[in-house]
Chain A
Amino acid sequence: MANTKTDEKLQKIAKDLLESGEVSLVIGYAKGSNLQRMRPVFITKAEDAGKLSFSPHAVQDLAVFLKKPEVKKFGKIGIVVKGCDEKAVNALIQEYQISRDNIKIIGMECNGVIRQNIADKGETNVSESAVYDKCLICEEHIPVLYDFLIESEEPKLVLSGNVKPYSGIEKLESMSAEEKNAFWAKEFDKCIKCYACRQACPLCYCSRCIVEKNMPQWIDTNSEETGNAQWNLIRAYHLSGRCIGCGECERACPVNIPLMLINEKMAKDVYNLFGYKSGLDINAKPVFGVFSESDFNDFIK
């Protein structure tokens, strides 16, 4: 398929960055295994910049690669990000995982990406019912931080309000503790402990995850009720106040556990309790990394 104007702009920026030596690697999207799929691509030579492309099928959060040792060794990196993904870059800067000086952010204005299982069936149009829930509540169609911005050629996402994003949260909030427990027991029963949620997460960057620590064994290794619940709960806690809502864990999950219900609920609670949203400001202190006298403490009885 021919290059779009967006592709051309993107390729030009990447080419210039690589030619000038400002970065030694550009992480972006290239056309994938079918017309409705894109895949990550790693460009190290200016002449390969022509592989770069962008479309509403660019579902991956490429910030996940910034935690990868093989990628880190490139030093100065250019990265193509949507607004949601860019928040992960910010959170990584906030948590001292990467330096702002070492990253060139190529921000893409995005009006929503199409859910992959729908795209695989041939869907190519961005619409309320085709995009991910995160797109319906998106407030960062234009990334909050960027070195370059490429405006979208796609029509704006029109919301009728008929599709209610993360509607499961409201349902969960109205449940009793027993009902919630039953709901999650059923969902976690599906878990196969592949840890794809962790691997796909740009903010799960521990070089040794707690499930891999076995002296002592903190988390049961089994993929049954106890082990699955422990894993999914510990991950939810480790992401609370940090998750930027890219939804990659849920997209990667091969057994369709609605992980974003947990993450969004946590994010909502953190916002209500502390007025904090993750990934919006590289100079903000992570909410659970600071103590403030004004923090509520009425849970201490």
Chain B
Amino acid sequence: MEEKYFEISAENLKKFVDSIIADNFEVIAPTDKDGDTFYGKISRFEEANLDILLPKMSYKEYLLPKTETLLEYSFSGVDTEIKDGLEAVAGANEKRVIFGGRPCDAGAGPIMEKVFNWDYKDEFFNERFKNLTIVSIACEKPDNYCFCTEMQLSPESSYGSDILLKKAEGKYFAVVTSEKGLNLIEPYINLFKETAKAQVPADKDWKKLFEIERTKSFLDKNFEHNYFQDRFLSCIGCGVCTYTCPTCHCFDIQDEGNLKEGRRIRNWDSCQFGVFTLHTSGHNPRVTQGDRYRQRLMHKFKIYSEKFDKYLCVGCGRCSRNCPEDIDIKEVAKDLADMA
């Protein structure tokens, strides 16, 4: 779809959000909880915290739940009954809107979509992804952990958003990029005023601190470099980086059940865990935490980009902010670029 542009006052934006909530949309927005800000369901506009840069966790769980049932089975005599988990996912997210997320989080969706459709089409992911509507807000002040610009996005990127809101002089401009976005605002179109692209404030000239291509070229040639073992001696393998990451998508398939019934599920998993690559023979190709953190860097900045045209990182900086041992991935990616 060709992009469309609208203007909306702050007051009308509030009305818009309250209206979609009244019309039974589940609106997920950054909201203050437990001393921090998390994405969560809001029941009115005021509950959204739009001043915060980024909630502590991403909204990945709405695309890839932390536990998802793939199938259920039960035995009755000699009969086995199997129920496809996909039935329960049908229509998921049709009435769900992520409101007030940032361009980095929005950018993660299409990046994950590539993985989930590369050879096998993951219908669970696809069903959730195609229905979820994303209304993001452009960032005015990225912090020192942010590096979306280095990761081929920008604080004002509309990539992955159905609607991108840009704040300017007390009002907002809405860049609508998809039919899904247009359908969402259609019933409330009187709150919006269509405008021309030229009226929307131009993106600022965001500066890059390093070139991610250089990070990749270091990784291409230095698998055995001492840097990894030395730098990540401080990694405790907690996996917080991967669990809070909007693009990390590894999962583990498990069966849970008893003699009568059970289910096959997939749970979030992490390359930072020692058992992630432990073979049944007892051999583990990734013995040290240095090996494991290197894998994370390799996957994000090298392996994925060789298969697809993007990197597996949107530069949100969550892994750095949330790392209990203060490992800053931006600093690491820059170190590698500097050594290339």
Interface residues of A (CB under 8 A from B): 32-34, 37-42, 60, 64-65, 68-71, 117, 120, 192-196, 199-200, 208, 212, 217, 220-224, 227, 248, 251-252, 254-256
Contacts and interface: CB of A to CB of B under 8 A. Distances in A.
Contacts of A199: 236-239
B67 A254 contact: no
Contacts of B242: 194
6 contacts: A39-B234, A42-B234, A69-B288, A192-B243, A223-B268, A256-B56
A214 to B, nearest CB: 8
Contact of A223 (B33, B67, B270): B67
B144 interface: yes
Contacts, number: 112
B250 to A, nearest CB: 12
B36 A196 contact: no
Contact of B290 (A38, A65, A70, A227): A70
B326 A32 contact: yes
B321 interface: yes
Contacts of A256: 33-36, 38, 56
A68 B289 contact: yes
Contact of A254 (B254, B273, B322, B325): B322
Given A42-B234, A254-B244, A255-B57, A222 B67 contact: yes
Contacts of B66: 192-193, 223
B67 A224 contact: yes
B256 A200 contact: no
Contacts of A208: 275
B268 A193 contact: yes
Given A33-B320, A68-B236, A223 B267 contact: yes
8 tightest CB-CB pairs across the interface, nearest first?
Answer: A39-B326, A196-B238, A199-B238, A256-B34, A33-B328, A194-B243, A252-B324, A223-B66
Nearest to A207: B274
A64 B290 CA distance: 16
SS of B interface (majority): mixed
B329 to A, nearest CB: 10
Contacts of B243: 192, 194, 196, 254
Contacts of A224: 67
Contacts of B35: 117, 256
B254 A221 contact: yes
Q: By CB atoms of chain A within 10 A, which of B236, B242, B256 has the most?
A: B236
Contacts of B252: 221
A195 B239 contact: yes
Contacts of A38: 326
Contacts of B267: 193, 221-223
